[in-house]
Chain A
Amino acid sequence: MGKLGRAPLVAICTAAIAAVYGAGYVATEPYAHRVSPGSPPAAPQPHRGEGEAGAASAKYRDGVYRGSGTDQIGTIDVEVTVAGGRIAKVVITRCDTHYPQSDIDPALPDEVLKAQSANIRFVSGATLSSFAFAMAVQQALDEAKNPDSAGGGA
């Protein structure tokens, strides 16, 4: 695709959000559950079990599971909700860390003190990938593992 004739980036984004939000993808089930009218011209691809949410072979059992993880910046607890065999939500329930990383920034402890305003500032900065939450989520998912599932990948 050449530079000329390309749609402006803003237009692409506007159309995308309108299409997805308008189509109800945001509010309804994942696309895999939908019947697609015009299928692609290529040979039909196998749908390897996607959309078989809730089936006995699902990787994880539905429920709410807890996990905890620690790394050099502290400890976090999470609560993982599995619905239809898929991860539907991972809420941070406790966060004894200086997390996000920007909390370590000297500018921000003051923020906590002068936070009479409810409008505590939000931080934009590239965040470190935290071992703490990966560990916490993995621990919860170990609990959630379905013994009937083949386990591992697809």
Chain B
Amino acid sequence: MTYLRRAYVAMDTRVELAGWRDGASERELVQLLDEAAGVFYEVEAAATRFRPDSDVARIAAQPGAWVRVSPHVAYPLQVALWLAAWTGGRFDPACGHRLAALGFDTDYQTGQRFSWPGGSPDATFRDVELDVARMVVRTLRPLLLDLGAVAKGYAVDLALARLRGAKLDGALVNAGGDLAAFGVGPDGGPWQVVVAHDLPAFSPVELRLSAGSVCSSGLYARRGPNGAPHLWHLRPGRAQALAATVIAPYAMMADGLATACMLIEPDEIGRLCEEAGAEAKVWYEDGTTVETRGWRAHGVA
């Protein structure tokens, strides 16, 4: 049995791929993992809002026009628009220019800054039209999309699909805490995943995963230069959600849902996850937590 675990830097995070197959050579596995990791750079090139040559930047540059886009933008956008519609815009991919204005405007690869001062201050997801059949996008008002809450999960799913296609016995892809797996781990049992949030007195939760995805989102993780959190539309005057973890069949779902669950009311989480086909747990600043009914079926501790 040959088992390999390799780490990369992509999409402003640490990406780890692990996989194994009986009878494979190490060299073969290195090649398979490297090829699968290539997906992250393809998705990043199309979906980043930090580079002027990405699809997202081209859409911003042509408000009102149908812009042909990569599937790597169209599909994550489709999921983001689904979540935006469900949450009535509390989750909203049309917020890139606002995030850039908060200081989230620097490409981690080059250090160059890219903002979009021409973005309409009140643009929302309702100003975004997507035709998946033709792979075209049109914005009704000038705006910069942010696919950050979905694109990473989408890349995880694609990389994993590629490893599945390579007939590995098991593989796991982890992009900065957003992960998905198939098959069994190298010891023949389910993959062991620990949910660890950087919160006071947080007890790590252990999960066993043989297929599907676990993604996490946390308010503690990314802050702008002025200390502003990376989430748009926080819940003013209510107990703030600090972190969320979602278990779902796909990482592109779990990734977006983890963010969405932090933006909706605690009593909506069960309904959203039931409708989506996911389980979730959310941690609030007042020390309370909310979890869906099926969450504990996955948790060990």
Q: Which residues of A contact B (CB under 8 A)?
A: 1-3, 6-10, 12-14, 16-17, 19-21, 23, 25-27, 30-32, 36, 38-43, 45, 48-50, 78, 86-92, 95, 99-102, 105, 107-108, 117-130, 133-134, 136-138, 141, 152-154
Q: 8 Å CB contacts to A: which residues of B67-115? A: 67-68, 70-72, 75, 78-79, 81-83, 85-86, 108-112, 114
Interface of B is mostly: mixed
Contact of B277 among A9, A43, A90 (CB under 8 A): A9
CA–CA, A41 and B136, complex, Å? 9
19 contacts between A and B (CB under 8 A): A9-B79, A10-B250, A12-B78, A13-B79, A16-B78, A27-B162, A36-B68, A45-B58, A92-B9, A121-B206, A123-B174, A125-B177, A127-B221, A128-B222, A129-B12, A134-B12, A138-B110, A152-B112, A154-B53
Q: Mark B247-288, 1 if CB is under 8 A from A, else 0.
A: 001101100000000000000000000011100000000000
Stretch in contact with the other chain, from B116-124, B189-197, B289-297: B189-197
Cβ-defined contact, A100 with B177, below 8 A: yes
Residues of A within 8 A of B158 (CB): 17, 20-21, 26
Cβ-defined contact, B134 with A121, below 8 A: no
Cβ-defined contact, B109 with A123, below 8 A: no
CA–CA, A26 and B43, complex, Å? 10
Cβ-defined contact, A133 with B14, below 8 A: yes
CA–CA, A9 and B277, complex, Å? 8
Residues of B within 8 A of A21 (CB): 158, 161-162, 165
Residues of B within 8 A of A40 (CB): 65-68, 134, 136
Stretch in contact with the other chain, from B21-29, B178-186, B232-240: B178-186
Measured CB to CB, the closest approach of chain A to B191, in angstroms, equals: 7
Residues of A within 8 A of B86 (CB): 3
Q: Mark B36-65, 1 if CB is under 8 A from A, else 0.
A: 011101100110000111000010001001
Contact of A89 among B41, B58, B218, B249 (CB under 8 A): B41
CA–CA, A136 and B70, complex, Å? 29
Q: 8 Å CB contacts to A: which residues of B210-240? A: 214-218, 220-222
Cβ-defined contact, B218 with A119, below 8 A: no
> Given A13-B249, A129-B13, is A124 in contact with B216 using a C-beta cutoff of 8 Å?
yes
B141 CB within 8 Å of chain A = no
Of all A-B residue pairs in the complex, the 9 with the closest CB atoms, nearest first, are A126-B218, A126-B221, A16-B75, A40-B66, A119-B185, A127-B176, A13-B250, A42-B66, A92-B7
Measured CB to CB, the closest approach of chain A to B200, in angstroms, equals: 13
Contact of B85 among A6, A17, A153 (CB under 8 A): A6
Contact of A125 among B62, B185, B197 (CB under 8 A): B197
CA–CA, A32 and B204, complex, Å? 43
Residues of A within 8 A of B66 (CB): 40-42
Interface size bracket, B side: 35 or more
12 A-B pairs besides A123-B194, A125-B197 with CB distance below 8 A are: A3-B85, A13-B157, A16-B79, A16-B154, A26-B162, A40-B67, A50-B53, A89-B41, A107-B194, A121-B193, A126-B197, A126-B220
> Given A13-B79, A26-B161, A30-B70, is A124 in contact with B186 using a C-beta cutoff of 8 Å?
no
Measured CB to CB, the closest approach of chain A to B131, in angstroms, equals: 8
> Given A13-B79, A23-B71, is A119 in contact with B214 using a C-beta cutoff of 8 Å?
no
Residues of B within 8 A of A3 (CB): 85-86
Cβ-defined contact, B8 with A137, below 8 A: no
Residues of A within 8 A of B143 (CB): none
CA–CA, A38 and B133, complex, Å? 11
Residues of B within 8 A of A125 (CB): 177, 195-198, 216, 218, 243, 245
Give the residue name and chain of the A residue nearest to B217 (CB). Answer: A126
Cβ-defined contact, B215 with A124, below 8 A: yes
CA–CA, A125 and B216, complex, Å? 5
CA–CA, A7 and B277, complex, Å? 13
Cβ-defined contact, B62 with A141, below 8 A: no
B172 CB within 8 Å of chain A = yes
Measured CB to CB, the closest approach of chain B to A85, in angstroms, equals: 11
Cβ-defined contact, B249 with A12, below 8 A: no
Give the residue name and chain of the A residue nearest to B83 (CB). Answer: A9
